[in-house]
Structure 1
Amino acid sequence: MARNPERRAALVDAAVEVLAREGARGLTFRAVDAEAAVPTGTSSNYFTGRDDLLHQIDARLHQRLAPDPAKLAELLTRPKDRTLVRELMHDLMARAARDRTGHLALFEMRLEATRRPALRESFTASVRGDLAQGMAFHRETGLPGGDETVTVLYLAMLGLLLEHLTLPGVLDGVLPGITVPDALVDLIVATVVPEK
Structure 2
Amino acid sequence: MVKNEARRTALLDAAIDVLAEEGARGLTYRAIDAKAQVPAGTASNYFASRDDLMSEVAIRVNQRLMPPDELVEERLALPRDRSLTLRFMHDIVKRADADKACYLAMMELRLEATRRPDLRTALTKTVADNLDFNIAFNEESKLPGDRMTVLTLYFALTGLIYERLTLPDIVEPMDLDELIEVLVDRAIGPN
User: Normalised by the size of structure 1, how large is the TM-score?
Assistant: 0.92
Determine which of 169, 178, 187 is the counterpart of 1:192.
187
Written as runs of structure 1 = structure 2, the 5 A alignment for 1:1-196 is 3-173=3-173, 178-179=174-175, 181-195=176-190
Count, aligned residues = 191
Deviation string, structure 1 residues 54-113 (Cα, Å, up to 9, x no partner): 122112112111011100110011111110000000010111111111111111111111
**1:145 offset after TM fit, Å?**
1.4
Letter in 2 for 1:190: D
CA contact (8 A) 1:33 1:42 kept: yes
CA contact (8 A) 1:2 1:45 kept: no
Please tell me the root mean square deviation across aligned C-alpha atoms, in Å.
1.4
| Partner SS for 1:144 | coil
Structure 1, gaps ≥5 residues long: none
**1:150 offset after TM fit, Å?**
1.1
User: Normalised by the size of structure 2, how large is the TM-score?
Assistant: 0.94
Distance in 1 (CA, whole Å) between partners of 2:8 and 2:16 is 12
| Partner SS for 1:152 | helix
**1:2 offset after TM fit, Å?**
5.0
Q: Which shifted more, 185-194 or 156-165? A: 185-194
**1:195 offset after TM fit, Å?**
4.8
Distance in 2 (CA, whole Å) between partners of 1:144 and 1:10 is 38
Letter in 2 for 1:23: G
Any runs of at least 4 consecutive aligned residues in structure 1 with deviations exceeding 6 A, and if so which?
none
Distance in 2 (CA, whole Å) between partners of 1:28 and 1:99 is 22
Letter in 2 for 1:185: I
Distance in 1 (CA, whole Å) between partners of 2:143 and 2:68 is 19
CA contact (8 A) 1:20 1:105 kept: yes
> More helix per residue: 1 or 2?
2
Letter in 1 for 2:67: P
CA contact (8 A) 2:164 2:172 kept: no
Distance in 2 (CA, whole Å) between partners of 1:7 and 1:137 is 31
Deviation string, structure 1 residues 18-63 (Cα, Å, up to 9, x no partner): 0111111110001111111122212111111111111221121121
Q: Percent identity at matched positions?
A: 47
